């Protein structure tokens, strides 16, 4: 699942078509050459054996055994993330994820950290819109100590007051530091404009007032409601076999409650057809545009994904890149992304350009999207994009034990099946040009939501400022 963010904002100057542009293209060509050299080595990743392991207490995980390196990576997620923050206590889940290594069981913060260092393990937790994520990397010969610490963190976090105050102060420091940041302000206004009163409109980290209200009892209550086997997805990669993992799953997760107790979240359609200007005297203007998206479970998903890749998903060959950067040198980067949340989705285009060229850049982006909506891609574009999307999957998603574990967790969340990686290419290759044209027309024909962060737009007529 991806999160709707403000977008990519570059601080680089607008490129030129001169020597810098030639050097950049040479680097791009080198990257593509390396990509195709690496493909044979990584192709085997797509053929890896994924086992479903089910423990005696009913905890299920997907396992990829790899005994070539003495490392084990585990990734897991509990359904229900920052969208579950109670009204008036925004930032609760984010604060909670900063406290799992700050004391658990009979170990206070310092004691837990010492044990974690002694075990040579790395543990982290993150808050997302729709899930609470955790991960650990450990040496396989110290997995007893590492899994023991993970068990304490998952089942018995202490939420002591001193760590709560310290982590809260760190979060608050970041909030205060960003109070005058145009991009942070713009993101907050954008989310409110797009989502209204929906939980997705709230900042994950909360605000000064909401953070101050969060107590240890609030944290314990959410932990009890959220950390349950019924909303758990687990993937493990590395030097561990299925029988051993089965016991570890029960050790870490087996004593959790059977079912979660989460608040219902309604679906929300982003409010499009509006333009939001966040005016600041900046040398560079950030632009973000939103069109309707597509659910991951929608039959049109692969057609939409291919269309998006041609439009702006491919770094060096997309239509937006060609028209905005290569032909006109208006921006350092420009991209489009399909954004998929559990309760909402969108297609976003983001870029940043010199402020006196923002109106021109916005007009070009709109024209490229309009052309895609009306005419779709060519047969040649579609064929090349299919080949790229099939070949790039291993590099993007299966290049390390941690990335494999993360990918397998997301496949579980999306209910794609344990054999999805083997079936994926067939789904992509089955898409026709007519399918992609239909997806383009469906998603890109509406009036988008637009956000401009920078000086007021300078209108352009005939290439001259008015």
Q: Alpha carbon of 142 to those of 120, 138, 153: distances in Å? A: 8, 7, 17
pLDDT of residue 167: 98
Residue 224: inside a domain, yes or no? yes
Which residue matches tokens 């009913």? 58
Interatomic CA distance for residues 432 and 430, integer angstroms? 6
CA–chain centroid gap for 227, Å, is: 21
pLDDT of residue 314: 81
Q: What is the CATH number of the domain that holds 131?
A: 3.30.830.10
Residue 86: inside a domain, yes or no? yes
Rounded (10°) angle between helices 109-118 and 143-155:
150
Residue 36: inside a domain, yes or no? no
Residue 70: inside a domain, yes or no? yes
CA nearest 291: which of 307, 309, 271, 305? Answer: 271
Residues 313 and 238 in one domain: no
Residue 43: inside a domain, yes or no? no
Both tokens assigned to 310: 């041609």
CA atoms within 13 A on the CB side of 261: 7
pLDDT of residue 21: 39
Interatomic CA distance for residues 277 and 456, integer angstroms? 7
Give the DSSP per-residue string, 332-360.
EEEEEEEEE-SS-EEEEEEEEEEGGGHHH
CA 99, 206, 229 angle in degrees (round to 5)? 50
Give the DSSP per-residue string, 405-458.
HHHHHHHHHTT--TTHHHHHHHHHHT--HHHHHHHHHHHHSSPPEEEEEESPP-
Task: Tell me which residue range forms the domain holding 157.
Answer: 48-253
Residues 235 and 341 in one domain: no
**Helix (H, G, I), strand (E, B), or coil: what is residue 153?**
helix
Residues 189 and 336 in one domain: no
Residue 21: inside a domain, yes or no? no
pLDDT of residue 47: 67
Residues 313 and 280 in one domain: yes
Per-residue pLDDT of the chain (466 residues; tens, 9 = 90+): 333 322 222 322 333 333 333 333 444 434 444 444 444 444 444 568 999 999 999 999 999 999 999 999 999 999 999 999 999 999 999 999 999 999 999 999 999 999 999 999 999 999 999 999 999 999 999 999 999 999 999 999 999 999 999 999 999 999 999 999 999 999 999 999 999 999 999 999 999 999 999 999 999 999 999 999 999 999 999 999 999 999 999 999 999 999 999 999 999 999 999 999 999 999 999 999 999 999 999 999 999 999 999 999 987 889 999 999 999 999 999 999 999 999 999 999 999 999 999 999 999 999 999 999 999 999 999 999 999 999 999 999 999 999 999 999 999 999 999 999 999 999 999 999 999 999 999 999 999 999 999 999 865 444 444 4
Interatomic CA distance for residues 255 and 102, integer angstroms? 21
C-beta of residue 345 within 8 angstroms of C-beta of residue 10:
no
Interatomic CA distance for residues 173 and 166, integer angstroms? 11
- The residue among 190, 218, 253 that closes a domain is 253
User: E-strand spans in 239-300?
Assistant: 275-279, 284-292
Residues 189 and 228 in one domain: yes
Q: What are phi and psi of 378, to 5 degrees?
A: -90, 165
- The residue among 253, 287, 305 that closes a domain is 253
Residues 242 and 95 in one domain: yes
Residues 125 and 225 in one domain: yes
Residue 33: inside a domain, yes or no? no
Residues 247 and 281 in one domain: no
Rounded (10°) angle between helices 420-429 and 301-308:
70
- The residue among 207, 225, 253 that closes a domain is 253
Both tokens assigned to 422: 């083997």
pLDDT of residue 22: 38
Residues 244 and 280 in one domain: no
Both tokens assigned to 447: 């009036």
Query: What pairing do the DSSP bridges indicate for beta strands 60-65 and 232-238?
Result: parallel
Residues 200 and 82 in one domain: yes
* CB atoms closer than 10 angstroms to residue 140: 15
Residues 354 and 436 in one domain: yes
Residue 4: inside a domain, yes or no? no
Return the H-helix or E-strand segment holding 463.
Answer: none
CA nearest 200: which of 183, 188, 214? Answer: 188
pLDDT of residue 140: 96
CA nearest 406: which of 38, 68, 126? Answer: 126
Residues 214 and 273 in one domain: no
Which residue matches tokens 């003495």? 70
- How many domains does the structure of the chain reveal? 2
Burial (0-12, 13-18, 19+ Cβ within 10 Å), 12: exposed
């Amino acid at each position: 699942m991806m999160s709707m963010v403000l977008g990519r904002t570059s601080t680089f100057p607008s490129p030129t078509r001169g020597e810098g542009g030639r050097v950049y293209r040479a680097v791009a060509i080198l990257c593509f050459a390396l990509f195709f050299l690496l493909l044979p080595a990584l192709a085997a990743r797509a053929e890896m054996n994924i086992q479903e392991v089910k423990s005696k207490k009913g905890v299920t995980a997907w396992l990829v055994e790899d005994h070539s390196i003495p490392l084990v990576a585990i990734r897991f997620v509990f359904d229900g993330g920052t969208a579950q923050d109670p009204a008036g206590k925004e930032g609760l889940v984010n604060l909670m994820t900063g406290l799992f290594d700050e004391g658990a069981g009979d170990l206070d913060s310092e004691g837990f950290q010492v044990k974690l260092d002694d075990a040579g393990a790395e543990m982290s937790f993150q808050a997302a819109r729709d899930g609470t994520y955790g991960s650990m990397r450990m040496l396989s010969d110290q997995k007893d100590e590492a899994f023991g610490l993970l068990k304490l963190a998952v089942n018995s976090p202490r939420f002591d007051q001193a760590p709560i105050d310290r982590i809260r102060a760190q979060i608050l420091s970041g909030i205060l530091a960003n109070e005058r940041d145009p991009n942070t302000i713009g993101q907050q206004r954008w989310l409110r404009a797009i989502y209204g009163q929906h939980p997705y409109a709230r900042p994950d980290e909360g605000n000064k007032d909401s953070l101050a209200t969060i107590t240890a009892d609030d944290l314990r209550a959410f932990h009890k409601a959220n950390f349950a086997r019924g909303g758990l997805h687990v993937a493990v990669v590395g030097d561990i076999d299925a029988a051993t993992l089965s016991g570890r799953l029960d050790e870490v997760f087996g004593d959790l409650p059977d079912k979660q107790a989460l608040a219902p979240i309604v679906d929300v359609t982003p409010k499009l057809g509006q333009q939001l200007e966040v005016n600041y005297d900046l040398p560079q203007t950030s632009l973000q545009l939103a069109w309707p998206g597509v659910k991951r479970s929608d039959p049109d998903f692969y057609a939409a994904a291919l269309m998006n890749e041609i439009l702006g998903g491919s770094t060096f060959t997309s239509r937006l890149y060609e028209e905005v950067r290569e032909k006109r040198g208006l921006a350092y980067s420009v991209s489009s992304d399909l954004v998929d949340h559990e309760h909402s989705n969108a297609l976003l285009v983001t870029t940043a350009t010199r402020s006196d060229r923002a109106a021109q850049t916005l007009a070009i982006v709109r024209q490229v999207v309009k052309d895609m909506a009306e005419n779709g891609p060519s047969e040649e574009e579609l064929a090349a994009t299919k080949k790229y999307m099939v070949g790039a999957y291993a590099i993007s998603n299966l290049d390390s034990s941690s990335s494999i574990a993360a990918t397998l967790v997301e496949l579980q969340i999306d209910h794609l099946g344990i054999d999805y990686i083997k079936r994926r290419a067939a789904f992509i290759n089955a898409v026709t040009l007519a399918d992609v044209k239909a997806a383009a027309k469906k998603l890109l024909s509406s009036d988008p939501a637009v956000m401009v962060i920078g000086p007021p737009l300078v209108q352009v007529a005939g290439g001259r400022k008015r």
